[in-house]
């Protein structure tokens, strides 16, 4: 099999065995996620712990082999290595270092990286490709809303500090501390650890919450419209078709 055929096989685009390979790799990812949860159970028998340990080694070796195969068979290895999915594939196999050097202080972080492999479930997802194209089509609008959100957080923190610090100096100690209140309030989480008690603070909070709802709803509407436009132009067509390679400019039309 040629190198291009091997890449198609790993990406699930091979006409014969592509789906089978994708199903096997995704199944391995899901089983490894279950194993990560099971290994934290107390009073787990020694045989079960040994089995989970060997299973983890097997999973890491399989994905390490997949990564090396992609590097070798890729027409542009460096481009793949530094691409988004190339970095995800690399991070997914870094926990191998924890097995080789278990005495390292960074072992916990390396073991946590095992969760990165869950992202590999979307490696061959056409829906994710459609979402990616939609986000790129409206990245300018999202950037504007992101800047507005950051500005609103800062204005909210300064405003609530001015109203509440004189009467609650132990709660609203500074503008950075008030920024925590702004994040919790504008995201509608509202932990309740910081609450305005003055009339001015409550009126200011009400105003900021209404404005915050608009800032949150705006990007949601923009993204929804972009996804509908992407679907209208057939971005979710089979791999290799012309519509899948449609440019962002065509999606916007």
Instruction: Give 10-residue mean pLDDT values along the chain (253 residues).
Output: 81 82 87 88 89 89 92 91 88 78 58 73 70 83 88 92 92 89 80 85 90 81 82 49 40 40
Q: CB-side exposure of 228: number of CA atoms within 13 Å?
A: 6
Q: Are 8 and 18 in contact (CB under 8 A)?
A: yes
CATH 1.20.120.350 occupies which residues in the chain? 3-124
Q: Which are the contacts of 67, defined by CB distance < 8 A and separation ≥ 6?
A: 89, 90, 92, 93
Q: Are 128 and 99 in contact (CB under 8 A)?
A: no
- Predicted confidence at residue 102, as pLDDT, reads 59
Fold designation for 3-124: 1.20.120
The whole model's pTM is what?
Answer: 0.56
Element at 130 (helix H, strand E): helix 126-137
- Predicted confidence at residue 199, as pLDDT, reads 93
Which CATH class, in words, describes the domain spanning 135-252?
Answer: mainly alpha
């Amino acid at each position: 099999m040629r190198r291009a055929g091997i890449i198609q096989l790993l990406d699930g685009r091979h006409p014969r065995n592509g789906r089978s390979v994708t199903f096997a790799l995704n199944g391995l990812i899901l089983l490894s996620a279950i194993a990560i949860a099971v290994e934290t159970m107390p009073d787990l028998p020694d045989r079960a712990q040994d089995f989970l340990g060997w299973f983890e080694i097997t999973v890491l070796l399989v994905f390490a082999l997949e990564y090396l195969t992609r590097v070798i068979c890729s027409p542009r290895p460096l481009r793949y290595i530094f691409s988004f999915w190339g970095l995800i594939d690399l991070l997914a196999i870094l926990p191998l270092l924890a097995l080789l050097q278990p005495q390292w202080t960074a072992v916990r972080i390396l073991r946590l990286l095992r969760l990165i492999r869950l992202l590999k479930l979307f490696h061959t997802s056409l829906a994710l490709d459609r979402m990616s194209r939609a986000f790129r089509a409206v990245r300018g609008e999202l950037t504007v809303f992101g800047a507005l959100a950051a500005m609103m957080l800062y204005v909210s923190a300064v405003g609530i500090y001015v109203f509440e610090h004189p009467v609650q100096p132990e709660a609203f100690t500074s503008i950075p501390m008030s920024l925590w209140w702004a994040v919790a309030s504008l995201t509608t989480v509202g932990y309740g650890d910081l609450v305005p008690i003055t009339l001015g603070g409550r009126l200011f909070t009400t105003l900021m919450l209404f404005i915050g709802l608009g800032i949150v709803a705006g990007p949601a509407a923009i993204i929804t419209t972009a996804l509908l436009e992407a679907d209208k132009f057939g971005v979710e067509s089979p791999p290799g078709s012309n519509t899948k390679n449609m440019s962002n400019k065509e999606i916007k039309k």
